[in-house]
Structure 1
């Protein structure tokens, strides 16, 4: 057992191999000893006959000799053992051909699921499969949650980065991630893992058990696996580089103007200021440092079950089934809530207002000393005791931005329960033609429970309070059990009963999704009908898919602005669509064994799709490979792909949420000195008095409102993808394999919306400041009270980002792999691998009138997750005898810099001496290298793996917290791209019987 384990590891020591790209067919598509299934006994023997079940990612043709014309990267289970991976997202985000998407390092913006983003083209443009079949989606987007993949039974993971619509249908524009399970597992395996950071946090635990057996003389096999994983949080306050929030453009301590004591925005002297510790007023602002409350690693708790079985019912007919169940909870923790940027109605005689603050309000309101004294002294509200109008009562609008630290953090627990079931029959029609019919059904339900948020319908009446005659306070409107709330004092002064009344409720949102699939196919070859020595292989089939998705929210979650500080509302969604497909593929060997043509093949495919929402679509592919002599192959592939809009893109109601913007072109003195700009800001809804006084503040915490929604008129987007590559496996260097592939993807009629930067650039920097003639300017609606782009969602749409088919995306680059295995001595073996991606561009154009935005090598609020120009993984493994090996993984990320267009729109990020970090340059990030060291020791039946991740404890780059989008730019860095946790230690024990 030990010998076979380590010899297998030696053959695939790197695991990051373009396995299907290597010339030798056995290495290219060898399914391995564990991928045979038993069929009917041979008529001349009592022993069962086996036939290979080959899963070929990127093709429906099950041919063990098939060398695909599209490159596929393969991650073996040995690589996952070295990395001690607990979830699929953890290793996929580090692949050179992927860009980090929503995952465990995303806190503010994590919706309770993890996704993959191949080529940086968006997580909705790639497909996640389990054994070549679609898996149940997580929500209205149709994406699969990587947290639900059962890694304990995954034998390998195939990643095809390029169009695969012809093979798998819509969504596979950027590629496919195909998890292949162990379909013939025998024995029992128990795996335990624990990891911890050097700081003593970031603890993770994993325990998995798998059992499998053949039965009835090999006619059947069953596998069952159960697992549990747990991951603890890592707080940003526990790392010195993220303890304090730093402004990306100031280099100084920064944060949110939703602070403690509260920040007041109008009507006060200067337009804005802050309450002092003694309830006075000052124009000096001290922002709230929210970093310590936020986290770099989201808490995660998962229980999962997986089972599969197959049984030969009669000769040549086999029944098979597979089921996956998962229940998991992802928790996000963000800084304490408060009153935020809503506009509130206050009364001058609120007993919680200090004299200094009342004086400031009186001055801002233009009241005389007598009017101010009368307004603050009365104990009555709008009416007197006899029911008559109170002439001295003063009520006014203002913003009280108070962070209620006393009420604790804002927490969201996302609990996902899902199952995915497969049942099918397969068999042989002839010796060389097989059939397969299967159906799948899956359901997922994700329940979000929020706590720590204020309810506006309770907060507003709680702020309209008058003296109760006994030294206390009472709400003017006492209906609904209103309790006055004191948000005007320093930290610790928040009254507990009022806080419980306003903040004590929870919200709930339920997302549900289902998938139904029926697929029938015939695969095989034409036997003696052939062009070359090998027969022509084919696959034909039909598929029906149905998707449904719903979102059901409580009343508070559905009401814009009701959940204060909770982002956009979550109105109910109920959508569905189905699609009918017909597809076919051909693999035609044209020449073989001819001088100059050791092998020449042609690969063709086509698919016709009929969507109930987007009409019909025809996609096709053509490719080929040429091997002039053994050890060298040239390959190429061209595809016309497509993607239909998902349920969210079609049916999501219009909602106002949050995005990022560091600087507002209308803020402060900018419009004061520019009459045309001032007129534009006013036309967009800003009050003239605020604009002319230079009173529009910079976006609070670098965040603004955006308004988005679905579009039922969306059609399919079209993609052209092609690649050409070279594969070398020279005979004179045994064990060496090299591949180089150029890829090119262009998506037209792309389903997309403009970035915030597109709208800002088109409106304010395009040369036309006339609201009536500039369409971009009409997509901005400002806060009617403050003039800013932040505020309550029910009054401030902010920047309107409309979905359309007007977008274009383009990306191209080179993938390269180098793999070398050698036996250095009788007892020492060497395994080397290199997998790298050089991306030349990744351009996005939101509309034909907009400029192309290229985010490769750049970061900004418009670029989302960072995509360096050059990324590679290189692993070196030494094997000592049959029981010990040591492996070093080198992960390299090329340097990146602030996006030039962002510099033009928002100015250059800070360069100079930062009070917290010394000399810094936030406009660039140097190249980064991480090293992970692993050691394995096996003494049958136990294998121990020890790993040190981030071996040299390299700290992440510091760029401040408002130069990028909130989801990816957090804690002064980009934690999904760069390691914010630090050196970690892990140990795994595997017991195999």
Structure 2
């Protein structure tokens, strides 16, 4: 860890500690709720003492009709997640979860960061709360990077697996993930941990410290943590160095039972080599070697625009992800402090401060490659080997096309540095007669600095490759220098590995910089109580409101602002949104303690929200609980949910992505190459989602400690905000959609030359499925097992029944598609925990189900089926007491015990498959 990083981390911790002074207040003593079996975790005794997320109403005997899953402190400790998202990523309700170890990285986007993604509906549709409050967005898609949260203070995680916009507002279409702080922690807790893979790489280190104590009427907590992971080089795993691809099936003959395509290994980049390859013409397949030598090579197979299939591994041939990383190196630190003040009676106040920083580094394709198009080499090029120049003269050639995978330029690298600062204060006060007032205010600011270096500057690269011999000096110069001697151009030699000079690379390679700052101010107030009773019990009511102001501003370097780089080119951006909303929620008991009506109650909520950018929208929820007999409960919820467009989607400027994207002109079905751009759309309106869930909860009296819940869900999103791909925009315009035609630029002949992919409210998403959760906790001595101890079993499962995506009238079935959508039908998470004395032994297993490699290739791809993968993990810890209230705990964990590699077809680790292999962690916790 650098000295600068240590100083800033310590400064953040000191700053947070200074905030811990008596001020306002949060929650005071809470009524004890009836346990919600669907929210039950392994430690039911603990969960019974808390109010879980899902409603603004707190009262004894209330269980929310919306399913809630609780990840308790025991799971957070036994699974030893390196980042909070690691405790979520294998839970069945989460799909396509992005982490530094499960998602690829690129020079744009959010690779290397961590997001919660319920139902696979996109992280932007999962609302992230920190102790019940919104966090300031920390990424360039306005989501929250979970690596910036203080893991050591998170006591549990509540996951609402259903629409919750009426209760919590925008972004809760798929649900809510609420990270709950242990605000009453007492004592000193220190942790050290290290880990390494069975391959001897990917090492990690972690250190954490927290303290809590009481000074008079003030309870203080403060601490921080540090984590570092070395990441994984792509070529550290053999399965990655044998690139996969879909090719023509050589065994296919019409009618022989084979299909025309097959998924194979050893598919290398066509029409390029590391030192350069002549593509097409009479000199085709001439390869340039070091020192000006050449040779003619034979392609492995007939080359297409995307691959050449070889019979085995070829270290002399490039592939698209040759320079990529399997997992991003990451270094992060967080600091947090809170002061909670007892104001007397049923009232308390709090103030807290949070600081977090995360640095992620990664690399991708070489800085200038054949992926950016073939290079035109003229016959007077200064560096052209003499024998090739002679051959060109004899053949009457004035130029040829060169394909070069410029490994010697070095990979394009990027560093993302994310920081967040947050201050929060609140008050909770009992007003008497069962009424409670809560108010809070928070201010958060995040900064995301992205540096992408070793990036080609388009104009300079074009000048440098056009090298000629100076008629005055006889030395290689850029052709442009002949007319502008002061332009500083340095010619580059592209013929043979290692031929580009350091001076040439320094001339045409540069660094793209973006500095994104986001600020969020929130004011919340709510009043809850029981205004009157029916014969079945008291009616509960909660009313409240919130004001939010979010602003965003991004500055970039001058070259990016001028779209000077071949790719990336972040653009200046600014905007702001003001949100004012009010809500009401009620629980009305309808029957209690009657035959076949042990409990019946109705839950309803409504919210009206005004966005300064997109108008006013209403959301609502109606649900109920019906318990015919004790231990059997039915629940149902119907809701209207929304997600408003964020600043990036509304205000992003037009940015070039590529200069030569292939497409088909729908006017004449001829292949074309166009420039592609992206942009925001100020005309966006909020997405609307209709969510329905119904389920049953069983907690039989004859089997104490057991609970089971089965819930069906159905989510339909209309007007979902998304970007159309290049070809659908062209096709839609041809079909008569004039709105899409406005995003196409054509030449004088009508041929498309550029297409802008803006954000549109055009997409429809429909998904449904079943969630299953079961838990059983037993005292083994009571079961007649003399050795005693406590056994906790827990199982969670999700089965998707549908996942359809509608784009411009075309419905795509994403269900079971592993390669494109990462949506297997089944996902499961099973765990067993045995505790006796100070010993705890755990085993858990996660299953990513089977599916198709790609749904669009059904009926065409011979080996389209992808087998499901089980990951088995073991954990153990031994607690040793060394005085009153003091413990010393040694723990260890093995992830991916069976060392399962990604299945065939996923050498890059796609589909959320583990990339590390067997991984060992050992650590120590000291508590006093």
Shorter-chain TM range is: 0.7 to 0.9
The alpha-carbon deviation at position 101 of structure 1 amounts to 3.3
| Structure 1 contact 845–852 (Cα < 8 Å) conserved | yes
Question: 2:837 maps to which residue?
Answer: 882
Instruction: Pick which of 933-942 and 350-359 moved more.
Output: 350-359
Alignment partners' CA distance in 2, 1:429 and 1:585:
19
Counterpart position of 1:386: none
Q: Identify the residue that residue 653 of structure 2 maps to in structure 1.
A: 653
The 5-angstrom pairing of residues 325-344 of structure 1 reads 325-340=355-370, 341=372
1:857 aligns with 2:820: no
Deviation at 1:202, TM superposition (A): 1.1
Q: What's the secondary structure of 1:871's corresponding residue? A: strand
Would the alpha carbon gap of residues 256 and 185 (structure 1) be closer, same or farther in structure 2, given more than 3 Å must change? Answer: farther
Match of 1:262 in 2: 276
Aligned partners of 1:191, 1:74: CA distance in 2, in Å?
24
Structure 1 vs Structure 2 CA RMSD:
3.3
2:800 pairs with 1:839: yes
Alpha-carbon contact 2:223-2:337 (below 8 Å) kept: yes
Change (3 A) 1:491 1:542: same
Question: Which residue does the alignment assign to 1:78?
Answer: 74
Map of 1:241 onto structure 2 = 239
Q: Please name the residue that 1:991 is paired with.
A: 926
Cα deviation code 1:735-762 (max 9, x no counterpart): 11100000111111221233567569x5
Pairwise CA distance, 1:876: 1.4
How far residue 308 of structure 1 moved from its aligned partner, in angstroms, is: 1.2
**Correspondence for 1:897:** 852
Instruction: Show the 5 A alignment for 1:457-468.
Output: 457-468=459-470
Q: Residue by residue, what CA displacement relative to the aligned partner does 1:439-473 show, whole Å, maximum 9, x if unpaired?
A: 11101001111222222232222223222466641
For the residues of structure 2 that align with 1:660 and 1:399, how far apart are their CA atoms? 15
Per-residue deviation, 1:75? 0.8
Matched position secondary structure for 2:684:
coil
C-alpha distance 482-87 of structure 1, shift in aligned 2 (>3 A): same
Change (3 A) 1:757 1:64: farther
Higher strand share: 2
Give the number of equivalent residue pairs: 841
For the 8 Å contact 1:276–1:282, the answer to whether it is kept is no
Tell me if the contact between 1:958 and 1:973 (Cα under 8 Å) persists in the aligned partners: no
Aligned counterpart for 1:323 among listed residues 348, 353, 358: 353
Going from structure 1 to structure 2, the CA distance change for 1:797 and 1:985 (only over 3 Å counts) comes to farther
Task: Output the CA distance in 1 between the equivalents of 2:71 and 2:42.
Answer: 17
Shift of 1:808: 0.9
**For residue 488 of structure 1, what is the aligned residue in structure 2?**
494
Contact 1:887 1:934 in 2 (8 A): yes
Aligned counterpart, 1:819? 775
Shift of 1:646: 0.8
Label 1:325 to 1:796 Cα distance change in 2 as closer, same or farther (>3 A).
farther
Question: How far did residue 155 of structure 1 move?
Answer: 0.5
Give 1:751-762 correspondences, 5 Å limit: 751-755=721-725
The answer to whether the 8 A contact 1:959-1:973 is kept is: no
Equivalent in 210, 221, 229 of residue 231 of structure 1: 229
Match of residue 411 from structure 1: 413
Q: Which residue of 2 aligns with 1:728?
A: 698
- Deviation per residue, 1:599-637 (Å, 9 max, x gap): 111101110111101111111111110111111000111
**Does residue 1:926 correspond to 2:867, yes or no?**
yes
Instruction: Measure, in 2, the Cα distance between the counterparts of 1:631 and 1:723.
Output: 20
Structure 1: which 5+ runs fail to align? Answer: 1-17, 34-53, 373-395, 667-675, 687-704, 764-769, 789-794, 912-920, 961-970
1:426 aligns with 2:428: yes
Distance between the aligned counterparts of 1:805 and 1:610, measured in 2? 19
SS at the partner of 2:239? coil
Distance in 2 (CA, whole Å) between partners of 1:301 and 1:94 is 23
What is the rounded CA distance, in whole Å, between the counterparts of 1:24 and 1:231 in structure 2?
Answer: 33
Q: Matches of 1:111 and 1:352 in 2, distance apart?
A: 39
Cross-structure match for 2:458: 456
* Residue 939 (structure 1) aligned with residue 880 (structure 2): yes
Hey, what does 1:524 align to over in structure 2?
Answer: 529
User: Given the superposition, is the C-alpha separation of residues 127 and 19 from structure 1 closer, same or farther in structure 2, using an over 3 Å criterion?
Assistant: farther
> Offset of 1:821 from its aligned partner?
1.1
Distance 1:100 1:487, change over 3 A: farther
CA deviations 1:263-311 (Å, max 9, x no partner) are 4567x44888754664658585585135453211110001110111111
Instruction: Give a deviation string over 1:309-334, Cα, whole Å, max 9, x none.
Output: 11134555432112110111011122
Matched, 1:68 2:64: yes
Which residue number corresponds to residue 296 of structure 1?
326
Partners of 1:311 and 1:542 lie apart in 2 by 24
Cα distance, 1:677–1:621 mapped onto 2, change above 3 Å: closer
* Residue among 300, 305, 308 paired with 2:338: 308
Distance 1:349 1:889 in 2: 66
Deviations 1:951-976 (A, max 9, x none): 1111111216xxxxxxxxxx4441x5
Partners of 2:143 and 2:273 in 1: CA distance: 37
Query: How many Å apart are 1:680 and its aligned residue?
Result: 3.0
Measured in 1, the distance between the counterparts of 2:271 and 2:648 equals: 33
For each residue in 1:657-681, what CA deviation from the matched residue of structure 2 results, as whole angstroms up to 9, or x when unmatched?
A: 36999xx676xxxxxxxxx989432
Pick one of 484, 492, 513 that aligns with 1:508.
513
Contact residue 25 and residue 67 of structure 1 kept, 8 A:
no
Counterparts of 1:25 and 1:336, CA distance in 2: 48
Give the Cα separation in 2 of the matches to 1:273 and 1:568.
Answer: 32
The structure 2 residue matched to 1:953, chosen from 899, 903, 923, is 899
- Give the match for residue 808 of structure 1: 764
How far off is 1:502 after superposition? 2.3
Gaps of 5+ in 2: 1-33, 249-263, 300-315, 882-886
In structure 2, the CA distance between the partners of 1:304 and 1:438, relative to structure 1 (3 Å rule), is: same
Contact 1:930 1:951 in 2 (8 A): yes
| Shift in Å, 1:79 | 1.0
Shift of 1:813: 0.5
Q: Does 2:220 match 1:222?
A: yes
Shift in CA distance, 846/491, structure 1 to aligned 2, threshold 3 Å? same
Q: Deviations over 1:494-516 (max 9, x none)?
A: 2222222223x322111111111
SS at match of 1:310: strand
Query: Is residue 978 of structure 1 aligned with residue 896 of structure 2?
Result: no
2:380 to 349, 355, 362: 349
The 1:595–1:654 alpha-carbon spacing in structure 2 relative to 1, beyond 3 Å, is same
For 2:688 and 2:816, locate their aligned partners in 1 and report how far apart those are by CA, in whole Å: 26
Report the secondary structure of 1:98's partner residue.
Answer: coil
Deviation at 1:483, TM superposition (A): 4.7
Supply the distance in 1 between the matched residues of 2:40 and 2:848 (Cα, whole angstroms). Answer: 31
Contact 1:294 / 1:335 at 8 angstroms: preserved in 2?
A: yes
Cα displacement (A) at 1:409: 2.3
- CA distance in 1: counterparts of 2:297 and 2:39, whole angstroms: 72
Deviation at 1:135, TM superposition (A): 0.5
The equivalent of 1:151 in structure 2 is 151
State whether structure 2 residue 49 is matched by structure 1 residue 58.
no
Give the Cα separation in 2 of the matches to 1:754 and 1:205. 42
Tell me the TM-score normalized by structure 2.
Answer: 0.84
| Residue 739 in structure 1 maps to residue 742 in structure 2 | no
Contact 2:649/2:681 (<8 A) preserved: yes
Question: What is the rounded CA distance, in whole Å, between the counterparts of 1:408 and 1:351 in structure 2?
Answer: 23
The 2-side partners of 1:55 and 1:256 are apart by 59
Report if aligned partners of 1:120, 1:842 keep a CA contact under 8 Å in 2. Answer: no
Report the TM-score, using the length of structure 1 for normalisation: 0.79
Q: Which secondary structure does the structure 2 equivalent of 1:457 belong to? A: helix
| Matched-pair contact (CA < 8 Å) for 2:373–2:660 | no
